[in-house]
Amino acid sequence: MNIGICGICGRMGAATYGIALERGHRLAAAFDSDKSPLFGMDAGTLIHADSGIKISSLNPDDVTRTDGVIDFSAPPASLALLELAKKAGKPVVIGTTGFSKQDVERIKDASGAIPVLFSPNMSLGVNLLFRLTEIAASTLGPDYEVEIFEAHHRFKKDAPSGTANRLVEIIKSASKNLSSAEVVSGRSGMVGERGDSEIGIMAMRGGDIVGEHTVYFIGMGERIELTHRAASRDTLARGAVSAMEFLSQKPAGLYSMYDVLGL
């Protein structure tokens, strides 16, 4: 495939570029902010190669030249990409996080015209974690409190992570007693006893942590922990490229990594 990458100068964009080549695809377009130090340079610089593709701002000509675009940028760039992709009739894989509810509605609207795969985490393992969390939340009753811990590198801008927020959505949807639970992001001071309808999220930031998520189901006398740890961004990049391969034969619609996994 002729793949475009939006946010190619970021850690995930560069990793996706390398995995795409590893899987036999070609880089057809490279997009990033004009504030990037590598803007205007050959994208191959990112992986110590020569691609013949210059890193540029989003533009309709380059989007049209691709078979689809993988996006690891920022919400404003993702939404601008979707508008160009709709006009060009190209599929988009969105791995960007930090969207508002209004942004998500715009993504859903775009999927009425083109295939869009939208996931807060492209890792196949994390998406299995989503499914296992759904099973646990639907099976365990009100005697089990639910808490989520997530950890990422010091450069991550949003908290809680998109993956942690997705885990909350899954728990609320699957658990009858937590459907309207209050989300508590950290605790400090004399907060009183834990409420029966709470989902706690704790975020840690530091160093070069790629990503770690644990969902705790805590009962009296026992605790169930579902954990996923990413050791390399290649895991996420490999999932994103697999997602684009999946979308290449699909009609317009909103897809997730569950579809890629066949869950």
Among candidate residues 152, 213, 228, 250, the one labeled active-site is 152
Query: Do residue 211 and residue 166 come from a single domain?
Result: yes
| pLDDT over 90 (residue 64) | yes
Lowest mean pLDDT: which of 5-9, 138-142, 214-218? Answer: 138-142
36 shares its domain with 136? no
Question: Is residue 167 a contact partner of residue 199, using CB atoms and an 8 Å limit?
Answer: no
Give the domain range for residue 62: 2-118+233-261
Q: Looking at the structure, do residues 79 and 155 belong to the same domain, yes or no?
A: no
Point out the catalytic residue in the list 156, 157, 176, 213: 156
- pLDDT tens per residue, range 155-214: 998 899 989 999 999 999 999 899 999 999 988 899 888 888 999 999 999 999 999 999
Task: Answer yes or no: do 166 and 86 share one domain.
Answer: no
Q: Are residues 85 and 165 in the same domain?
A: no
Domain with residue 207: its CATH number is: 3.30.360.10
In a shared domain, residues 249 and 147: no
* Top-confidence residue, 11 or 136: 136
Domain with residue 240: its CATH number is: 3.40.50.720
Per-residue model confidence (pLDDT) at position 263: 83
Looking at the fold, whether 93 and 141 belong to one and the same domain comes out as no
Whole-angstrom distance, CA of residue 104 vs CA of residue 76: 12
Report residue 55: phi and psi, to 5°.
Answer: -75, 120
How far is 176 from 102, CA to CA, in rounded Å?
26
Give residue 201's pLDDT. 96
- Asked if residue 113 and residue 130 are part of one domain, the reply reads no
Looking at the fold, whether 113 and 8 belong to one and the same domain comes out as yes
Are 51 and 8 found together in one domain? yes
Tens of pLDDT, residue by residue over 75-114, are 999 999 999 999 999 999 999 988 999 999 999 999 999 9
Active site residue 152: yes
Please enumerate, as own/partner, the contacts of 52-56 that have beta carbons within 8 Å and a separation of 24 or more. 53/27, 53/28, 53/29, 54/30, 55/8, 55/9, 55/30, 55/31, 56/29, 56/30, 56/31, 56/32
Same domain, 28 and 71: yes
| Pair (222, 209) in one structural domain | yes
